[in-house]
Amino acid sequence: MDTLIDGFKRFRSRFFEEHRRLFEALASRGQTPKVLLIGCCDSRVDPAIIFDAQPGEMFVLRNVANLVPPYAPDAGHHGTSAAVEFAIRGLDVEHVVVLGHARCGGVRALIEGNGETDNTDFIQGWMHIARSARDRALALTLSAGQPIDAARRMCEQETVAISLANLMTFPWVRERVEQGRLMLHGWFFDLESGELFRLDPITNTFQSV
Amino acid sequence: MDTLIDGFKRFRSRFFEEHRRLFEALASRGQTPKVLLIGCCDSRVDPAIIFDAQPGEMFVLRNVANLVPPYAPDAGHHGTSAAVEFAIRGLDVEHVVVLGHARCGGVRALIEGNGETDNTDFIQGWMHIARSARDRALALTLSAGQPIDAARRMCEQETVAISLANLMTFPWVRERVEQGRLMLHGWFFDLESGELFRLDPITNTFQSV
Amino acid sequence: MDTLIDGFKRFRSRFFEEHRRLFEALASRGQTPKVLLIGCCDSRVDPAIIFDAQPGEMFVLRNVANLVPPYAPDAGHHGTSAAVEFAIRGLDVEHVVVLGHARCGGVRALIEGNGETDNTDFIQGWMHIARSARDRALALTLSAGQPIDAARRMCEQETVAISLANLMTFPWVRERVEQGRLMLHGWFFDLESGELFRLDPITNTFQSV
Amino acid sequence: MDTLIDGFKRFRSRFFEEHRRLFEALASRGQTPKVLLIGCCDSRVDPAIIFDAQPGEMFVLRNVANLVPPYAPDAGHHGTSAAVEFAIRGLDVEHVVVLGHARCGGVRALIEGNGETDNTDFIQGWMHIARSARDRALALTLSAGQPIDAARRMCEQETVAISLANLMTFPWVRERVEQGRLMLHGWFFDLESGELFRLDPITNTFQSV
């Protein structure tokens, strides 16, 4: 915990002092981010670091494997859907970025279904959102005699497409997209090479930015 | 979106180049964060900025109002609980920090129940996790003739305590806490003053760090 | 039983004789207390003694651990909710005082979950109302290496706040509080030191009166 | 509220100072009352006043109309049954006194079924425990052309008998009574005359003490 406290002290004495006016303005006027970024909890892919972002710039939702479940308005506690609704209906963001990444532990659990995440209370149920990504990846790679690593990479990228597809099941997302008021983007970060890819709407493939 | 792309280019040419070895090591060895940080999606309170954190340091879960629901293992898609499970059972983190903050829009929706979040599909259902924080804050402040801002501040801080209490309903959290293998911490960031507070286990109040 | 009969004889020959007119007036005109006091059954914390109260002054509800359950209007026998309703809707009291106390056996049963109250028919189910107080207290004190006594004390005080929050779930309580016709108060009596504390609406902590 | 605070100050400076050792002993050794007293919340019939009782003497449960529901161990929040269980199984009291009283508002609501308590959320459901007392009283008094006041008085006394009968539906009450380890008593206080009556086990009538 000392690391965190030390980090806070550095932030407090440098960044906060340099941006005091920004924080005061953000506190009094409220936030008006233009972007909802949906990323993974993974400690290695922090959106603020990867996009060198300033406070107030992105509304950031982070869960395991950057997944969005399909629209299901019922009495349950839907944390991800609530955050999506807050950003889109409450803050009127203009862009949603789903940011996938290489070496995702959630995807590994989904593909391998073993080790630390077997017989879980919640992880397997949550990753079930991406089961079609796993099945597609395994169908293609196993048929081609590819190693499991190829399936993993394909699955990591497909989770991004699944979240985009599920976003369109929310009526107020679809409406805004159809009206041209909201744009959905699929991105993928390779933490080893430091490359950023985006899901190209013409080729349906991830292209380096 | 250009802002994000520009930010990524800065990250790529500076931070990534300076930390290339760290990223390579994190990619090949996997992540081993010691801390699960549960924060809010709010664009003004980014944990990586506030704690000047390095890649690999914190597993970061962000949802509206930094809430943890009570343990409820069923067939639903429990994104927050899955992330908690991944961090604690999968990564064996030693600390959980729940980070609340001032001027939380989720808490404002909960307290005022009007405007942008009336008749929501998911926001009110999600914030229902913190209803006892709202009721406690209103009971005390209204009875004392305090303004609604006092209720909001108290409620923002109480959501942190609710998440800590709900974490204890997860059997594998409680077990680790009782064994001294896991510590739970309640923190609160005041974005206007830049102060960080922690929920003191002796006085049960938030004390400036 | 002789002790009780002897006590009644003392009451009859002294107190009743001295207050005969008061009793007659209270009998003919009915009761008009301004305060509903919700206390514990504990034999050591009698509200009439602690507040040196006169007949007619307080409508007194006593149950284990001074708990109010959340509003749940159904066909069940809700003794506590019925008493709250009688005082507020029937007698139009202006104040509700929830009086917690140190060394509460109900809280001890909740925290320790052993001994006399294991496998109870009703006690554990009743104390379940305060489970979040227990979880909060344990989360904080265990993480800080505090002894179980610290958790007990914190939990005893938190039960008061839970009852206040639950009172606000009754629509006719909340309405009256919002209209300024009813005030809710959280108090705590330390029977060892004889001190009385109140839950301060500004600091959200118990302060000595 | 000033009345209560003033009363506490009198208690603190006189009674507590005079009984400091008693409170210290009760705090350190715990309570060992021999009596569970089940009384009404009514502000005019305070058991500690009527029996000139000392701290530690009686475990006091107070609800509307001093009722005990029948034994029904389920998942509900049973406040009265929990208090009865705590006293009998936890504290091993030797006597249970059910104390009824004249001019009971709960009984009036039951008999008249009008005014302030019509269409209640909880009061009528709670008083339903005593419906057979009402029916018996009305059957007898109406048949004899008696005024409604006679029905009320009879019903007030019958509620005491109903609580005693319901206590015997608790297996661990019945067992202790059969073994001679626990005695049940029905008492009735007339606040106008200051008289105390007890339900005589031979004549089945209330006799002045």
Confidence category of residue B180, pLDDT binned at 50, 70, 90 = very high
Looking at residue A75, what is its pLDDT?
Answer: 78
| Cβ separation C177–B138 shorter than 8 A | yes
Looking at residue C208, what is its pLDDT?
Answer: 96
Q: Residue A140, SS3? A: helix
A104 annotated ligand binder: yes
Encode chain A (209 residues) as per-residue pLDDT tens digits. Answer: 899 999 999 999 999 999 999 999 999 999 999 999 999 999 999 999 999 999 999 999 999 999 999 999 887 889 999 999 999 999 999 999 999 999 999 999 999 875 444 589 999 999 999 999 999 999 988 888 888 889 999 999 999 999 999 999 999 999 999 999 999 999 999 999 999 999 998 889 999 99
Give per-residue pLDDT as tens, B122-142: 999 999 999 999 999 999 999
Q: Where are the domains of chain D?
A: 1-30, 31-208
Rounded to whole angstroms, the Cα distance separating C149 from D34 reads 27
Q: Does A121 touch chain B (CB under 8 A)?
A: yes
Residues 147 to 166 of D: which have CB under 8 A from any C CB? none
| Cβ separation B73–A121 shorter than 8 A | yes
Looking at residue A103, what is its pLDDT?
Answer: 96
C40 annotated ligand binder: yes
Q: Does B174 touch chain C (CB under 8 A)?
A: yes
Looking at residue B182, what is its pLDDT?
Answer: 97
Q: What is the mean pLDDT of residues B164-187?
A: 97
Tell me, yes or no, whether chains D and A touch by having 3 or more C-beta pairs under 8 A.
no
Q: Across chain D, which distance is largest between two alpha carbons, in Å? A: 58
Tell me, yes or no, whether chains D and B touch by having 3 or more C-beta pairs under 8 A.
no
Q: Does D73 touch chain C (CB under 8 A)?
A: yes
Q: What is the mean pLDDT of residues D5-23?
A: 96
Q: Does A198 touch chain B (CB under 8 A)?
A: no
Confidence category of residue C173, pLDDT binned at 50, 70, 90 = very high
Tell me, yes or no, whether chains A and C touch by having 3 or more C-beta pairs under 8 A.
no
Residues 6+ apart with CB under 8 A from A17: none
The dihedral formed by the CA atoms of C163, C172, D40 and C39, expressed in degrees to the nearest 10: 20
Percent of chain B with pLDDT over 90: 92
A149 annotated ligand binder: no
| Cβ separation C80–D63 shorter than 8 A | yes
Please give the interface size between C and D, counted as residue pairs whose CB atoms are below 8 Å apart.
Answer: 271
Could you tell me which CATH class the domain C33-208 is placed in?
Answer: alpha beta
- Residue D112 pLDDT > 90: no
Give per-residue pLDDT as tens, B45-99: 999 999 999 999 999 999 999 999 999 988 788 999 999 999 999 999 999 999 9
Confidence category of residue B118, pLDDT binned at 50, 70, 90 = low
Residues 6+ apart with CB under 8 A from A142: A151
Q: What is the mean pLDDT of residues C66-93?
A: 94
Q: Is C61:C83 a contact under the CB 8 Å cutoff?
A: yes
Residue of C85, C163, C171, C66 whose CA lies nearest to D127: C85
Rounded to whole angstroms, the Cα distance separating A190 from A196 reads 6
Confidence category of residue D75, pLDDT binned at 50, 70, 90 = confident
Helices (H) and strands (E) in chain A, counts: 10, 6
Q: Does D8 touch chain C (CB under 8 A)?
A: yes
Q: Minimal Cα–Cα distance from B77 to chain A, Å?
A: 5
Rounded to whole angstroms, the Cα distance separating B138 from B154 reads 9
Rounded to whole angstroms, the Cα distance separating D189 from D101 reads 5
Q: What is the mean pLDDT of residues D94-114?
A: 92
Looking at residue A127, what is its pLDDT?
Answer: 95
Find the helix or strand (DSSP H, E) in which D7 lies. Answer: helix D2-10
Which whole-number Å values give the CA distances from D151 to C191, D105, D109, D113, D159, in the listed order? 43, 14, 12, 13, 12
Looking at residue C117, what is its pLDDT?
Answer: 47
- Which CATH homologous superfamily contains domain D31-208? Carbonic anhydrase (3.40.1050.10)
Residues 6+ apart with CB under 8 A from C184: B139, B140, B143, C95, C96, C98, C164, C167, C168, C173, C177
A155 annotated ligand binder: no
- Residue D115 pLDDT > 70: no
Looking at residue C74, what is its pLDDT?
Answer: 85
Looking at residue C112, what is its pLDDT?
Answer: 83
Rounded to whole angstroms, the Cα distance separating A110 from B189 reads 35
Give per-residue pLDDT as tens, D146-191: 888 899 999 999 999 999 999 999 999 999 999 999 999 999 999 9
- Residue D96 pLDDT > 60: yes
Show the CA angle centred on residue A20, arms to residues A18 and A22, nearest 5°: 105
Amino acid at D87: A
Which whole-number Å values give the CA distances from B209 to A4, D114, D168, in the listed order? 12, 59, 58
Looking at residue A115, what is its pLDDT?
Answer: 45
| Cβ separation B138–C169 shorter than 8 A | no
* Helix %, strand %, coil % of chain B (to 5): 50, 15, 35
Q: Residue A98, SS3? A: strand
Residues 6+ apart with CB under 8 A from D140: D146, D151, D154
Q: What is the mean pLDDT of residues D117-140?
A: 89
| Cβ separation A31–B43 shorter than 8 A | yes
Looking at residue B56, what is its pLDDT?
Answer: 97
